[in-house]
Structure 1
């Protein structure tokens, strides 16, 4: 124990002292002023030295222990914990055999930037936690800390006024979509609208709930407001599903002015509700959500599947203002709520300050893959953003989407055709979606892009035997 010089200049005013102390300690750990393995002073000694109560120090130590920055060793004291390791690439390969050499670019696969270790630590903490979490039914009161953690996690998205009572924890984003459809629609034979080219999960959720689906034309900025009114009047649809921050599959973004026009169109159409799916956003929000623009008419869903991990199946549904009881009832009647251990894992992971760093590291790593793809395929009609884990490619003359995906699969690369995102009666463009696979090396990903480029340069009618 080397003393407390690292506390010079600490400011404990203006907020809870234990939080200020925890932040100062965390910063000292991150900067190396407190190195790994350093033993911290006993609670009472440190409290006396900096002029606070022992309870303040104990709470700060506990917060950083939960976050994984400190570790308490019985009989020895509290120490700076080792950095959480990132799983090595060879471990990924052992855990995820690459399908006999096939490179899966069908759906985004996240790199491990520390989340594996964080999740393991959270699972251990739950296993050693209160017995009630392992033997009792879920409860609204017991889930409040997890919902509060979810509200804090979602605070980077302008959602308007949102408290923990507005949020329901779900089994991923798809489950959140289904819950919103059940909560929002009250008609005997409901109908919803989706973009002509849209996330197929909207249609699948509607199909299992016996909900009719109709398409709405879009342009480069998203849904066309006038078309919403026309389709709503013709079909009687009472809700529209859309992804304005990151449109799946094209990656396009709906600017604020268009969102405001869409809200106005929905109002004019008799109060057509909006379900906003924000599951693919991994960077900062670019505009206010529909819920912020129209609190009583818009619902919001998201998850951690594209930022931390899809394995835990943790998603969030945020009710339209005044509609939380409908959303909560849909969850409780359907599955009682998340398993208590899973809700506690969610609380730990979402509350951990390290999770934000991990999420940012995941985003930075994905940007490296995107840059490789742009360098290799940028000569073609490509839509991309470095904070979106996929690219949308309009194929050159000579290629049909279905033929291109089959040819890519024969070459050992799995991608998705535009037909997967089109309504049955719709016409699919000759385009494909290419996702980032962060569980293969950058070199292997670049090799896959090289193969795709060669295919694009040699459409079928130009190929020679």
Structure 2
């Protein structure tokens, strides 16, 4: 049997880095396929004439880059998304006329009118206070508003349980960076939010994929993963899972809460899309409040550009979270938070959420017509669909074919974790286009593509 033996470019850098570079080149060129098993450390060391410790460090470096995934007792495998860009946003300008069915836009044309809000702020007793340094946890009145916002997600909270962050991604950065250390393992759904994957790679955290079914994360698979690996935290999107749109049932949340207690896990819940389909099922963390951390974001519901989110956490975790805010941006901008707090308290936020749900519902019905004959799941007022692809289509193949026709979609490969196989599916945004007409045009192009051959 021929053993994979990459060609190392020996230069001034260490050999372990050269090995990781070689693995990366072979994945990019197609020489290594997603899911392919790599040689054992000893076998590769013998084939390349290296020390076993050098190969171990090389594999570890490749794992940090998201190229390979190692499982005790099974070996090292090329990750399912190794050849896929997990970033949701391109730093390159979009091609003119590209129809956006990948990125989810929170329907910002329905955001609150800001001119009157600034006038109200100017009439405050001391508006200049919003321009000064303040408590890294957030101003007292802002944390009170955060507790009110958390109630929309069925999360009971007091002002003293709140940390104010600059959006959900910053909140996630503070939670993972403040409560965990490099090398710690985090259990996640086998398909998960790509922003978590890139953030974990930056922080040096190891994501452990947990199998899913039509009801979300499988508790038995979570239990097995915790027994196999030393896992410190669990990341969930229980309300509307991104990308599959699954809602974690109440009974399953109870099972997962019991496992979190048994295995001493910090439970991190990021329900960015829960308000698009308010089922009002209590979060997992409500059942284990001493270990539950909940991120109640506002970007998908209200004014994404303001970057405001509220973190609800137990008292013993608040100090490291506040320190993480201090270490990253010192404090969420008080002027931005004041706008959101004002809209939460006067009912504007609720009216905007209702209007966005109504618009999303109209777009969902449009999608049902445009994608007639295809299998997909979604929420009736949700912002995206999970589209099952007919054989032999893959998500990556649809991405490429759609891009040639001027449509951007996200294949399942963008959401896979580690060596989890990517299903033949794609996430389709219903809110990325400016108008419903553009959405309908993009959806019909996708349907036409899928009616042909890859």
TM-score range, shorter-chain basis? Answer: 0.7 to 0.9
Instruction: Report what 1:109 is aligned to.
Output: 105
Say if 2:137 and 2:325, in contact at 8 Å, map to a contact too.
Answer: no
Superposition misfits of 4+ residues, deviation over 4 angstroms: none
Instruction: Report what 2:144 is aligned to.
Output: 148
Instruction: Report what 1:6 is aligned to.
Output: none
Q: 1:229 aligns with which of 223, 240, 255?
A: 223
Query: Within 2, Cα distance between the matches of 1:316 and 1:131?
Result: 22
- CA shift for structure 1 position 444: 2.3
Pairwise mapping of residues 79-118 of structure 1 onto structure 2 (< 5 A)?
A: 99-112=95-108, 114-117=110-113
Instruction: Report what 1:30 is aligned to.
Output: none
Instruction: Report what 1:248 is aligned to.
Output: 242
Instruction: Report what 2:325 is aligned to.
Output: 331
Q: Quick one: structure 1 residues 405 and 360, their matched pair in 2 at CA, closer, same or farther if it must change by over 3 Å?
A: same
Instruction: Report what 1:384 is aligned to.
Output: 378
Instruction: Report what 2:270 is aligned to.
Output: 277
Pairwise mapping of residues 283-302 of structure 1 onto structure 2 (< 5 A)?
A: 283-302=277-296
Query: Within 2, Cα distance between the matches of 1:107 and 1:320?
Result: 33
1:434 and 2:407 correspond: no
Pairwise mapping of residues 195-274 of structure 1 onto structure 2 (< 5 A)?
A: 195-269=189-263, 271-274=264-267
Q: Secondary structure in 2 aligned to 1:241?
A: strand
Q: Quick one: structure 1 residues 330 and 198, their matched pair in 2 at CA, closer, same or farther if it must change by over 3 Å?
A: same
Which structure has the larger Rg? 1
Say if 1:222 and 1:254, in contact at 8 Å, map to a contact too.
Answer: yes
1:367 and 2:361 correspond: yes
Instruction: Report what 2:54 is aligned to.
Output: none
Q: Secondary structure in 2 aligned to 1:239?
A: strand
Instruction: Report what 1:174 is aligned to.
Output: 169
Query: Within 2, Cα distance between the matches of 1:199 and 1:225?
Result: 19
- CA shift for structure 1 position 424: 4.1
Query: Within 2, Cα distance between the matches of 1:101 and 1:429?
Result: 29
Stretches of structure 2 that go unaligned for 5 or more consecutive residues are: 1-92
Instruction: Report what 2:448 is aligned to.
Output: 454
Q: TM-score, normalised by structure 1?
A: 0.73
Instruction: Report what 1:27 is aligned to.
Output: none
Q: Secondary structure in 2 aligned to 1:323?
A: helix
Say if 1:149 and 1:351, in contact at 8 Å, map to a contact too.
Answer: yes
Instruction: Report what 2:129 is aligned to.
Output: 133
Instruction: Report what 1:411 is aligned to.
Output: 405
- CA shift for structure 1 position 392: 0.4
Q: TM-score, normalised by structure 2?
A: 0.74
Q: Quick one: structure 1 residues 346 and 210, their matched pair in 2 at CA, closer, same or farther if it must change by over 3 Å?
A: same
- CA shift for structure 1 position 112: 4.5
Say if 2:163 and 2:310, in contact at 8 Å, map to a contact too.
Answer: yes
Q: Quick one: structure 1 residues 454 and 189, their matched pair in 2 at CA, closer, same or farther if it must change by over 3 Å?
A: closer
User: In the TM superposition, what whole-angstrom CA distance separates every residue of 1:158-198 from its partner, at most 9, and x where no partner exists?
Assistant: 224x111111111111111111113333x573211111111
Instruction: Report what 1:59 is aligned to.
Output: none
- CA shift for structure 1 position 334: 2.8
Query: Within 2, Cα distance between the matches of 1:337 and 1:441?
Result: 36
With 278-287 and 167-176 compared, the bigger mean Cα shift is at 278-287
Query: Within 2, Cα distance between the matches of 1:369 and 1:418?
Result: 22
With 132-141 and 443-452 compared, the bigger mean Cα shift is at 132-141
Say if 2:234 and 2:265, in contact at 8 Å, map to a contact too.
Answer: yes
Q: Quick one: structure 1 residues 215 and 101, their matched pair in 2 at CA, closer, same or farther if it must change by over 3 Å?
A: same
Q: Quick one: structure 1 residues 344 and 395, their matched pair in 2 at CA, closer, same or farther if it must change by over 3 Å?
A: same
CA RMSD of aligned residues (A): 2.2
User: In the TM superposition, what whole-angstrom CA distance separates every residue of 1:367-388 from its partner, at most 9, and x where no partner exists?
Assistant: 1111111122142220111122
User: In the TM superposition, what whole-angstrom CA distance separates every residue of 1:43-71 from its partner, at most 9, and x where no partner exists?
Assistant: xxxxxxxxxxxxxxxxxxxxxxxxxxxxx
Query: Within 2, Cα distance between the matches of 1:218 and 1:134?
Result: 45
- CA shift for structure 1 position 279: 0.7
Say if 1:143 and 1:343, in contact at 8 Å, map to a contact too.
Answer: no
Query: Within 1, Cα distance between the matches of 2:165 and 2:390?
Result: 41
- CA shift for structure 1 position 238: 0.9
User: In the TM superposition, what whole-angstrom CA distance separates every residue of 1:399-445 from its partner, at most 9, and x where no partner exists?
Assistant: 12111111111111111011110124332111110002265222222
Q: Secondary structure in 2 aligned to 1:238?
A: strand
Instruction: Report what 1:120 is aligned to.
Output: 115
Q: Quick one: structure 1 residues 373 and 332, their matched pair in 2 at CA, closer, same or farther if it must change by over 3 Å?
A: same
Number of residue-to-residue matches in the alignment: 360
Q: Quick one: structure 1 residues 101 and 430, their matched pair in 2 at CA, closer, same or farther if it must change by over 3 Å?
A: same
Say if 1:390 and 1:433, in contact at 8 Å, map to a contact too.
Answer: yes
- CA shift for structure 1 position 346: 2.4
